[in-house]
Structure 1
């Protein structure tokens, strides 16, 4: 275990960070005019994305200076995920940035911790509805401290599926064909705009 810290302590640390970042992004949206920009000419980003990212990654670097960080806004170097000798934190400070910018409540702060290429702990905090999902390897998962588990569905016909769409709309045609095939094989489809929350739900 990293620096003699247990996985539960790691998860507690991640949850505290996610909650504090959630308050930051709530405060920025409620009290300030959002400043928006685009990365890669298509992907929306707000000043709050960057603020939350810097807050989270700064806290991780201070507590665990030897760990690697893969974060969407300030440290998006995918090569960080290739080196398995040291622990890796994976951060999305605002999952659902378009929702966030448009005042939609389905937005999440997502933080995961991995060792040897395997995620060991994760927290997804949705500050507007007040939902905090957390999971620690071998300890199960919770929503607001209450145990949760999957539906038990074993065939697609009994399952809800979630999806998302790419920012570049010229790549939609193959996805739409797959959706057309899928909708006839499952209970229903959802697209909320935050992949992290889709996965948790």
Structure 2
């Protein structure tokens, strides 16, 4: 455990960072100051991604200088993450960057804390809907401090499922084939545009798969 902090205190710290970063990215978009660019020639990125990343990683380094960070800007070798002696923070400053750039509300700041390759705490904050999902190992998960649970759906035909698509389009055919098979076996399909929110929506019952 870090500096004798409990996992709940770690989660509180992560939530505070996620909320502040969320306010930053919300303000940048509402002020119409967005600047966009591309990573690897295909992946959209905005200056707000970089600003939020620097804010979050800077705060973590100040509070926990010995910890490792996996983020948009800092990517350590994680081939043996479970053997790391120091805790690891996993950050996506804006999950749903394309949504963000186009003015859609499905955007999230995602922060997780792991020890020896196992996630112990996590926070996902959606700044445009003011929803905060958080979970601490052994304590369940909440949405805006209220407990959440999965829908309990077990039959695909009664299930609403979500999917996403990669930035690179050269290997889409296998995915399209799987979607074609799935769409005939489920209630319906949603494409949210934020993987973090997909997972949270499954956790709270807005999606089944």
Task: Return the TM-score normalized by structure 1.
Answer: 0.95
Q: How big is each residue's C-alpha offset from its partner over 1:85-120, in whole Å with a ceiling of 9 and x where there is no partner?
A: 211100000000000001001100000001111111
| Structure 1 counterpart of 2:70 | 70
Distance apart, 1:155 and its partner CA: 3.3
Distance apart, 1:80 and its partner CA: 7.5
| Structure 1 counterpart of 2:122 | 122
Change (3 A) 1:78 1:180: farther
Q: How big is each residue's C-alpha offset from its partner over 1:145-170, in whole Å with a ceiling of 9 and x where there is no partner?
A: 11101111233333322211011122
Q: CA RMSD in A?
A: 1.4
Gaps of 5+ in 1: none
| Structure 2 counterpart of 1:181 | 181
Change (3 A) 1:132 1:80: farther
Asked if the contact 1:68–1:80 (Cα under 8 Å) also holds between the matched residues in 2, the reply is: no
Q: How big is each residue's C-alpha offset from its partner over 1:3-54, in whole Å with a ceiling of 9 and x where there is no partner?
A: 2100000000000000000000011111142111100000000000000000
Secondary structure of 2:23 counterpart: helix
Q: How big is each residue's C-alpha offset from its partner over 1:33-77, in whole Å with a ceiling of 9 and x where there is no partner?
A: 2111100000000000000000000000111111110002x1133
Gaps of 5+ in 2: 202-209
Distance in 2 between residues matched to 1:140 and 1:131, nearest whole Å = 17
| Structure 2 counterpart of 1:27 | 27
Distance in 2 between residues matched to 1:177 and 1:57, nearest whole Å = 39
Task: Return the TM-score normalized by structure 2.
Answer: 0.91
Matched pairs, number: 200
